[in-house]
Amino acid sequence: MGGQGAEEIRYEDPVEDVAREIQLYGVSGPAMMFLEASRPYRALGSQAMLFFDPVLQTIFGRGSDAMYRVLSDESGIDRLIERLEEIDDEPGCDA
- Does any domain span residue 21? yes
For residue 9, give the DSSP letter: -
24: nearest Cα among 86, 90, 95:
95
Question: pLDDT of the chain along its 95 residues, tens only?
Answer: 444 443 456 667 888 988 988 888 888 999 899 888 877 777 676 666 667 777 767 766 665 677 777 877 778 889 999 999 998 887 765 54
pTM as predicted: 0.68
Q: How many structural domains does the chain have?
A: 1
- Does any domain span residue 94? no
**How far is residue 81 from each of residues 5, 8, 10, 49, measured CA to CA in Å?**
24, 22, 19, 18
Whole-angstrom distance, CA of residue 28 vs CA of residue 33: 9
Q: Which domain holds residue 53?
A: 14-89
pLDDT at position 6 is: 36
- Does any domain span residue 18? yes
- Does any domain span residue 59? yes
73: nearest Cα among 15, 26, 31, 9:
15
